[in-house]
Structure 1
Amino acid sequence: MACVLCFAYIILLLIDYLFVKYTGNSLTYFSLNLFKISIVGAPIATFTKQIITVALVIIAVMLFCVILYQKYSKTLVKNFKFAILFWVCFMTAFALNPMVVACYKLYMLLNPPVIALKHAVYPYLKVPNPKIAIKNKNIVYIFLESFNQSYTNPQIFPDLTPYISNLTHKINFSNVGQSHGAQITIEGMFAANCALPYIFNFSNPDKNAFYPNIKCASEILKDQGYHTYFMKGAPLDFQKTDEYLEAGKFDETKGNEELIAQSATRLNEWGVDDDEMFEIAWEDFVRLSKSKKKFFQNILTVSTHVPNGFIPKACENISYEKHDIQMLRAVKCTDMLLGKFIDKIRASEFSKNTIIVIQSDHKVPVIEESKEVEKLANSQGGLVFMILDDDIKEDIYIDNNGSSIDTMTTLLGYLGILDEMNLGKNLLKSNGFRITGAFPGLVARLLPHIDYAEIDK
């Protein structure tokens, strides 16, 4: 019995190590979120190396434990005093096992009284109170997949992103980090749009709506007459993006099936290649601009998706001499495709009536295939976030501290609509709300129960 428990203890330590290695954290609410909504529909074959490695490590540890038991079990001498000492030490060690501690914290987070959550969170939530926009331009909002700000730093990656680095008429935010609850794509988009961390509704998966009880930027813009649009190359049902868009009442949505129906033919493991997606996005931009109705066009890239990135046909001959790594070629490709898309908009008759926003959906995950890239990319800086507008005559650099929770709130602030929304702050005027410790988990757990009327009292 003691040997079995010791083996179990070692396996728990191993599982905790694997969580940290492949997600960057021990078991948390957000680790569960990653596995629950990111595995279904994902091209598992792209992670074959990681899956085989994990399986072999677990098998090796189990075999080692069995061999050790068979070798020494028959020679062990029973001693009552040592048995008591063993159980005292083992139970103490078991209680301090990182995986056991993580499971306990997770259990406490999953089962708190809602009233206690409200007392902890409500003082920090700001009910959105939108005003009529001062600027009424069309908005093109581009999320860059796994795109760290350090990619644009020439001291770390010389000449990797010449297009993004040389954009003009911009407000560049240099201190936007990644908050908890915004570490995968759907979380990053939700955090930006709704200024709150998102978590899967584990207690009632069949009612995993993206919480119609809260107000988000897309709905605020929709209320002000904007046509809301979303496009990505991957399937819309991956990571429940379709549910997110439905809850936000987006007017027009496109994923890989819709893009294929619209003439896209080049595919990667995750969906339609970015070169074709940007071509269709351009056609739709022109169509929407000619419609004379304000629009909010959201676009999500895919070329820099882990573990290796993808190289679209338009970038077949692209290279990066500094590091001969496919992911960095994918970054350089994304920079080029994005730059050409922005150049088209700025050269068009619609430029003066268009605001362009660029934001990373999240940072490079630790599961990045090349540890050299992951280490360099995360060496400094957070997320790319900038606002482009012809009205900005000289480039502006903002160093207020913020996170992905503040980005669309900042856009709404730039438009003159509001300066605070849920946990989001307008970084043009102040630092963002500092979200640390267990607080993001408390907020995410409270999401289905947030009641603006209660907060206003």
Structure 2
Amino acid sequence: MINRIRTLATGLFLLIATMIITVTIYLQANFSNQSIDEIIFTIFYGLKGASPDIFMSAIVQIIFPFFIVFFILISPTIFATKKQFIVELYFRNRKYRINAFPLKMLYKHKTSYAIVTLVLVIFFSYQIIGIADYMKRVSEYSSIYEDYYIDGRDVKITFPENKRNLIVLYLESVENTMMDQKVGGGWEYDVMPELRALAEKHLNFSHSDKIGGALPASRTQWTVAALVSLTAGIPLSIPIDGNDYTNSENFLAGAYTLGDILKKEGYRLGLLVGSDAGYGGRDQYYTKHGNYEIFDVKRAIAEGRMTEDERVGWGFDDSNLFKWAKEILTDYANSEQPFHLSLLTVNTHFPDGFLESEADIIFPTQYENVHAHASKQVHDFVAWVQKQEFFKDTTLVIVGDHISMQPVDYYESKIPDDYVRTTYNVFISSVIEPIYPHNRQFTNFDLYPTILASIGVNIDGDRLGFGTNLFSDKPTLVEELGYEYVNRELDKSSLYYNQYILQDDFLKLMEQANVE
């Protein structure tokens, strides 16, 4: 009986060790360019509404390494024996007898072997994934909010007498990298000629003298965090303990956002996404801050636009997103209110994107072909908007939400060593011109006040949240303090953020953690 218990315990410990190893391998292979903050947020808070393809992809990639690793770890216990095991070797007509003592010892202490293996695996995975560094960072506190954060409620924000409509098109994971190196991309050929042409014809804020964009800031590099940074000028910094934060009706209650400002000014607000808006808590964020009308896959099914069986990828593809966006915009334009519609594409989402059936197969990888088709779709949508009567009173902003989550080696094998990956942006029909749009060091935070300025809004001091209006000549936070410094400070905990941004939700999260 005791031997059976020991055998079961050994197998269980080695099984757990195998699971940890294979998950670590998966995370390193697929999320090596993503911070531990994103991984933790997704696991604890962001899985609601996720595409089944994400889970299936993970299972397919994990299952084979799982069995290989488990076989390697358990093999020594299988071949262990309580007998004296002698190995005989012959060399130059002489016989050498070797006592394989470890196998006999392992037979007696195989449970101890399993425990030691598990402990070592936990230790090394803890270090490799970056949890140790994460715990160190969140135990330190920064005063960056007290020193540099600008609450929009404390700033004079003045709209023009004739308020302009605003369309913001967020392109999932779209960066400048897949453009030709000659124009500012990292590729040896141009995958997205239509997006390149838009950036060349209209206003593109750049980190260089070519087409460029925003540098990735800490805690902004996944979809909901990117949307928060682009519309509130702050990162998404949620404690890992506690309830499923994305269910909170007070999502970042203390933030003052683009939606809050436009709602106060009488705008009609809408959010159109091709997935479940509940993924990552986007529905809660946009409802709390602006009371946006939410158009997502659940609503599309409820309204009879599609059936449950017609779901693809994360929900519905970008062809439907743009088709229904035109219907929504036509409806909004017929109302007397100025309007703001936010659209978030989904086809270019990791892993490898969703390739629509009518997309051309031009390039060697699916991800490139998805981007190429997305580029054409955006071009066609922009052309449609420009032909509409409401366009004369409308500004259209197109921006990538964050750099791609595609495995790092996908990009490193194609781009120059010194290439800086940045997200795409273009401003069409802005009412003002920037003093200098190129060779700026900026992040998503800066696009928050910049989007407002593009529709003629005057912001006293030209700063909101951590963002600086890029139409002005004022330095951005990363230009003033340094990119690395700002990221290090944002990685730390903040008493201000917990007390004034999260407000009561922080206390609830901590209370839940103590109960658990």
TM-score range, shorter-chain basis?
A: 0.7 to 0.9
Give 2:352's match in structure 1, choosing from 299, 305, 308. 308
Matches within 5 A, 1:31-430: 31-71=39-79, 75-76=101-102, 97=124, 99-100=126-127, 102-108=130-136, 112=139, 117=141, 119=143, 121-128=145-152, 129-134=155-160, 136-153=163-180, 155=182, 156=187, 158-167=189-198, 168-173=201-206, 174-205=212-243, 208=248, 209-262=250-303, 264-265=305-306, 267-312=311-356, 316-320=358-362, 323-367=363-407, 372=410, 375-376=413-414, 380-389=420-429, 391=431, 397-414=437-454, 415-418=457-460, 419-428=462-471, 429=473, 430=475
Contact 1:130 1:220 survives alignment (8 Å): no
Distance across 1 between alignment mates of 2:487 and 2:232: 20
- Whether the aligned pair in 1 keeps the contact of 2:137 and 2:493 (CA below 8 Å) is no
Contact 1:154–1:160 (CA<8 Å) still a contact in 2?
Answer: no
When residues 452 and 224 of structure 1 are mapped into structure 2, their CA distance, relative to the original with a 3 A threshold, is farther
8 Å contact 1:47–1:307 — kept in the other structure?
A: no
Q: 1: distance between equivalents of 2:325 and 2:351?
A: 25
Deviations 1:277-301 (A, max 9, x none): 1121112212222323111210001
Q: How many residues align?
A: 433
- 2: CA distance between counterparts of 1:444 and 1:268? 40
Letter in 2 for 1:300: L
Distance 1:288 1:63 in 2: 61
Deviations, residues 299-341 of structure 1 (Å, cap 9, x unaligned): 001111221322335xx15232xx2322222212211111111
Asked whether the 8 Å contact 2:142–2:490 carries over to 1, the reply is no
- CA 1:16–1:318 in structure 2 vs 1: closer, same or farther (change >3 Å)? closer
Inter-partner Cα distance in structure 2 for 1:48 and 1:120: 41
| Partner SS for 1:271 | coil
CA distance in 2, matches of 1:65, 1:327: 36
CA RMSD of aligned residues (A): 3.8
Moved more, 68-77 or 410-419: 68-77
* 2:498 aligned residue (419, 442, 448): 448
What is the CA distance between 1:145 and its match in structure 2? 0.9
Query: For the Cα contact (< 8 Å) 1:146–1:363, is it kept in 2?
Result: yes
Q: TM-score, normalised by structure 2?
A: 0.72
Q: CA deviation at 1:69?
A: 4.5
Could you say which residue in structure 1 is the equivalent of 2:98?
none
- C-alpha distance in 2 between matches for 1:165 and 1:25: 25
1:142 deviates by: 0.4
Return the structure number with greater relative CO, CA threshold 8 A, min gap 6: 1
Where does the alignment leave 5 or more consecutive residues of structure 2 unmatched?
1-5, 83-100, 106-116, 207-211, 504-516
Residue 181 of structure 1 aligns to a residue in which SS?
coil
Superposed displacement of residue 362, structure 1: 1.4
Give % identity: 16
Q: Is the 8 A contact 1:176 1:403 kept in 2?
A: yes
Give, in whole Å, the separation in 2 of the partners of 1:328 and 1:292: 42
For 1:127 and 1:117, locate their aligned partners in 2 and report how far apart those are by CA, in whole Å. Answer: 20
Question: Does the C-alpha gap of structure 1 residues 12 and 367 become closer, same or farther in structure 2, counting only changes over 3 Å?
Answer: same
